[in-house]
Amino acid sequence: MLSTMADLQSIYKEFGLQGIVPYAFQRGGEAYRFLIKKMKEEAPWYLIISEVTTVPYLDMTHSGAYAAVCLSEEQAKAVCDRLAHAGMLSHPVKLVAAEEKENAMLQIRDLGAIGVQIDDSLLVYIQDVVAAAEYDGFKSIDDPLRNSAMNTVLYMLCQKIAAGIPHKHLLQYLFCQIQAGHLLVPVAVADSAHGTLGKDDFIVPIMHTEDGCSVVLVFTDTASFQSACAYDEKIKRLFPQKLTYVAEYRFLVEMFTEKDGVAIVLNPGTANLNIDRASMLSLETAVMTSADGKEVNDLADEEDPVPDFLK
């Protein structure tokens, strides 16, 4: 048993963080805190990124979703190979600078993960690494929209869809969250607007994809919209003022009614989940009434049940 900080320093000097992991399973213990300190400061590590969503890959335990972190390139490659066999395409990103590590951990927090799993073994809780968010969901028009719980479902769903894994009930659960929550819809000032702007002076622009589809962009949170504006030139040009409207579900329903043939794209650039009017009506029906009378969360015997921690 380790008894002093000198023991940890000696092991770290000889074996790196991989040598500390076996001693760090006691949350809050000296080795656990030492490992987190080194991860935040000097020790490089590899974050596993989903090829489908381009955000950290999410997996789950009985208590919550987590991102995958590896302490060596070899271990990162092994994890990606294992995921590939299950149809989950991914790649590792090496993080060295303290700032990029902190940004990665904040992103993981905002994806609703409870922590990161180190080398397929040790779970490090996200709240032990970065500050917890003060709120989730819609707080006020002056505060960023956050939807960490919705993001967990959304990105795990996208991973399942791409891998060909059954996902019907997870999709229904996401739809329930959309019905009960808020989404961010980017808007632009109408050409006819002048003087003091009112609500009628703003429009929801329609984008036309390369395959001829008409879509409206919708985001789960402010951070996702800002990221899309930063990395997608077309979105940046379409919304130069970065104006947004915090929308409830009924706004989406009205939009589908008013804009015939238009679909929404949820979190373009990452999730890229397309939902058209027919799909929304189908989901609404599935959630409200089912042939066997089961609730969406009563899925223990189904092949793709909603994870307990999402209920």
Q: Considering only CA atoms, which of 29, 218, 223 is closest in space to residue 109?
A: 223
In tens, the pLDDT along 143-161 reads 999 999 999 999 999 999 9
> How many Cβ atoms sit within 10 Å of the Cβ of residue 184?
23
pTM: 0.88
Task: Quote the CA–CA distance of 238 and 143 in Å, as a whole number.
Answer: 23
Cβ-contact 108, 124 below 8 angstroms: no
Cβ-contact 170, 157 below 8 angstroms: yes
Could you tell me which residues come within 8 angstroms of residue 32 by beta carbon, excluding any fewer than 6 positions away?
Answer: 24, 25, 26, 124, 128
The DSSP-derived string for 166-227 is --HHHHHHHHHHHHHS-EEEEEEE-TT--SS--GGGEE---EE-TTS-EEEEEBSSHHHHHH
Q: Considering only CA atoms, which of 41, 30, 156 is closest in space to residue 105?
A: 41
> How many Cβ atoms sit within 10 Å of the Cβ of residue 177?
19
pLDDT at 208: 83
Average pLDDT across the chain, whole number = 88
Could you tell me which residues come within 8 angstroms of residue 293 by beta carbon, excluding any fewer than 6 positions away?
Answer: none
Least confident of 20-29, 186-195, 284-293: 284-293
Q: What is the mean pLDDT of residues 216-230?
A: 95
Q: Considering only CA atoms, which of 303, 287, 277, 281 is closest in space to residue 173?
A: 287
Q: In what order do the strands lie in the sheet with 207-208?
A: 207-208, 214-218, 262-266, 273-275
In tens, the pLDDT along 12-29 reads 999 999 999 999 999 999
Cβ-contact 20, 11 below 8 angstroms: yes
> How many Cβ atoms sit within 10 Å of the Cβ of residue 12?
19
Least confident of 60-64, 210-214, 273-277: 210-214
- pLDDT > 70? residue 255: yes
**Regarding predicted confidence, which is higher, 28 or 298?**
28
Q: Considering only CA atoms, which of 217, 220, 193 is closest in space to residue 205?
A: 217
- pLDDT > 50? residue 292: no
Confidence bin at 256 (pLDDT 50/70/90): confident
- pLDDT > 70? residue 297: no
